Amino acid sequence: MRPAAPARVSETEVPIPSASNCLPGRPAPLGAQVEAGAVNFAVYSPQATAMELVLFAEPAAPAPALVVALDPTRHRTGPYWHVAVPGIGHGQAYGWRATGPRDPARGLLFDGDKLLLDPSARAVTGHLSYDRRAAAAAGDNTARALRSVVVDPTLYDWEGDTPLPRPPGREVIYELHVRGFTAHASSDVPAAQRGTYAGLAARAGYLRSLGITAVELMPVHEFDPQDGPPGLANVWGYNPVAWSAPHAAYSSDRSPTGPVDEFRDMVKALHRAGVRVIIDVVYNHTAEGGPDGPVLSWRGLDNRAYYIAGADRARYADFTGCGNTISANHPVTSRLIVDSLRWWVNHLHVDGFRFDLASTHTRGEDGVPLERPPVLWAISTDPELAGTALIAEAWDTGGLYQVGDFPGGRFGVWNGRFRDDVRRYWRGDEGTIESLMARLVGSPDLLRGAEAKPSHSINFTTCHDGFCLRDLVSYDRKHNTANGEGNRDGTDDNLSWNCGSEGPTDDPVVAALRARQVRNFTALTLLAHGTPMLLAGDEFGHTRLGNNNPWCQDNAFNHLDWSPEAQDAGLLRFTRGLIAFTSSLRILQEDRYWAATSPGHPGDISWHGVETARPDWSPRSRALAFTLEHASGSQLVHVMTNARPQALDFALPAEPVNADWRLAVDTARPAPADYHEPGSEPAVAAATVHVAPHSLVVLISRRATG
């Protein structure tokens, strides 16, 4: 049985009106809307036979202060249930209970004993008493359930802040985990703010000094940490419980609406530093998991609308590897997703979104891919999202891979082919030259369509999934036993090379080669045409000790160590310098595909091998050079790469004859000689350049090339 609602509310609690004072309300907008002296609540649930709005006098109260049983003759319009409650407002904790048929064979999973989160919730509370198991077991879970919170967006002072426009040149993205970024005691953040939005805001100056233009935050929506292996927690957050509510555990202010305001404060601080905010959104599945999972929200309101059913309607089609798949192209779900995106942009000033497993959003209600998926076109053409960055992880676990033809027109894509082809090249694999050339010029062989641009290719060597950069050059195989799954989780296809020894080493030869390889990957990622993305911590050598899937590790695997002894200061200087160097190259800032130079036809790029204008296309080739020339003639860049275990001498281009070549980068040289600041580059007078094994050299000429 549910706990009975108390007859009276103590003076220390929020006063709750009686049910008799409630008004019919309106079916729009969905969620909780603060109005003059009241809050309008509305939710979609066409198959429900009864609906209750549950209000709490205190966010953590075990029992409700008021349960409003909605009269369908007054509080229902078609498939929508609604009620207006006077005398309450911002900060009010609430939930829904929906009663209806429970018929798994028909995809109906109502459970009137469960307190449900509002799918449109803007804030969530109740974390200290929350128990995931209670939401999956029989019986009432009110005392141990998460609660939605009413948010009035007009109460926050943005102080003139607005979403930042895309920079005039190239975006440089930096992927990070909010908690992991400052959780370590060395983060130079007050203890109470470590691992929080406030902690990230406090490090805005570091981000600005690094030279990146945008952070891409791993999931910051409310998620379920209890959805993890025994004894561990879900740390990365790819299991949402509320799409539009900032994750409360990332806030140092744990009041019901505190996380919303602290998130906004963080956005303001980052914007002041000139850093855009892109968030990783997970609209492809939820923390409700498979058919035996908890009833938290969507499942208990309209399981058939929100999820794609399998051949057996009692089970889900799983194109995510997480037990369920959101039916994003159902009209109601599509609208809910678009409304969520608008909320993040209009009221939290987010500048862009990275859509996790975005290919699931191309699937229809039956799971079959659609040529023109309504939800993606609704997002890309929505006027309120017109200035918002849209990035797709263009694949899913059901076999879709759409990096080359992701629908929607204006989406950028995480270019997994860039990652793989660059890794293969620097590992010394054969047959990599042609694919590497395509990746370096913005992947026009992959990105098709009239709207395609180089900036749509998000070029990365590492991301949260897989090895971090230091581990990529230190391990041949994953070491994931700490995750509690017998080392079965995480990919085995790492395309990594440990440079001669597995894991930590005292061998100076191996250490030097690893340092060279890390710089090779960093340099080529930043020199390639497109939008580069770096993983937080890679710039100073963070290690996960070979764990390529630390999604459940709230410890040193994910917590960046900022102490000087843990950081490679030379690598940090190199990375910061390369970001500044490539950001100064005008040819990389122009969002157009390059034309290749040919005899009698000057272009933007010319290809070479160890001999000029003669690239080696053979399968055994592991050397490539190229020259970039801006149309103005004011900048000339020559890049030489050698993935062989032997040194090579590269001839310099004979044209233009008055090029004033200077050494900007040599990854084989120890810091600080690996990168030279503008104006300090030594002259290169010889006609050839010696390029050490497994290294990259960059020359620049800033003299006009008449």
Q: What is the CATH number of the domain that holds 248?
A: 3.20.20.80
Residue 6 CA to residue 255 CA, distance in Å, equals 23
CA pair distance 161, 700, nearest whole angstrom: 39
Q: What CATH number did the domain enclosing 680 receive?
A: 2.60.40.1180
The pLDDT assigned to 189 comes to 97
Domain count, the chain: 2
For residues 502-507, average pLDDT: 98
CB 576 within 8 A of CB 211: yes
Residue whose token pair is 């509370």: 125
| pLDDT for res 15 | 67
E strands in 404-445: 412-414
Asked if residue 358 belongs to a domain, the reply is: yes
Residues whose CB falls within 8 Å of the CB of residue 8, separated by 6 or more in sequence, listed in order: none
pLDDT, mean of residues 174-183: 99
Q: Looking at 360, 394, 414, which one is the last position of a domain?
A: 414
Establish how many alpha carbons lie within 13 A of residue 650's alpha carbon, considering only the half-sphere containing its beta carbon: 34
Q: Which residue has the tokens 């990168």?
A: 675
Q: What pLDDT score does 353 carry?
A: 99
pLDDT of residue 600: 65
The tokens for 170 are 């190239």
Write the single-letter amino acid at 24.
P
Q: Which of 376, 392, 414 is the last residue of a domain?
A: 414
Tell me whether residue 179 is in a domain: yes
E-assigned strand segments in 396-499: 412-414, 457-459
Per DSSP, helices labelled H in 187-254 are: 197-202, 204-210
Share of the chain above pLDDT 90, in %: 91
Per-residue pLDDT tens over the stretch 268-308:
999 999 999 999 999 999 999 999 999 999 999 999 999 99
pLDDT at 632: 80
Residue at 133 is within a domain: no
Residues assigned a catalytic role: 356, 393
Residue 45 placed within a domain? no
Share of the chain above pLDDT 70, in %: 97
For residue range 183-234, list pLDDT tens digits in order.
999 999 999 999 999 999 999 999 999 999 999 999 999 999 999 999 999 9
38 or 450, which is more confident? 38
Q: Is residue 392 a part of any domain in this protein?
A: yes
Rounded CA-CA distance 162/158 in Å is 8
Q: Is the pLDDT of residue 8 over 90?
A: no
Structural domain boundaries enclosing 603: 591-701
In angstroms and rounded to an integer, the radius of gyration of the C-alpha atoms of the chain is 27
Instruction: Tell me whether residue 534 is in a domain.
Output: no
Tell me which of 97-106, 463-472, 501-510, 601-610 is least confident.
Answer: 601-610
Instruction: Kindly state whether residue 221 falls inside one of the protein's structural domains.
Output: yes
Domain boundary (382, 414, 446) is at 414
Question: Strand order in 605-608's β-sheet?
Answer: 605-608, 623-629, 636-642, 695-701, 662-666
More reliable by pLDDT, 657 or 132? 132
Q: Residue 692 falls within a domain, yes or no?
A: yes
pLDDT value at 626 more than 50: yes
What does the DSSP assignment read for 590-615? S-SPPPBPBTTB--SEEEESSSTT--
pLDDT of residue 658: 81
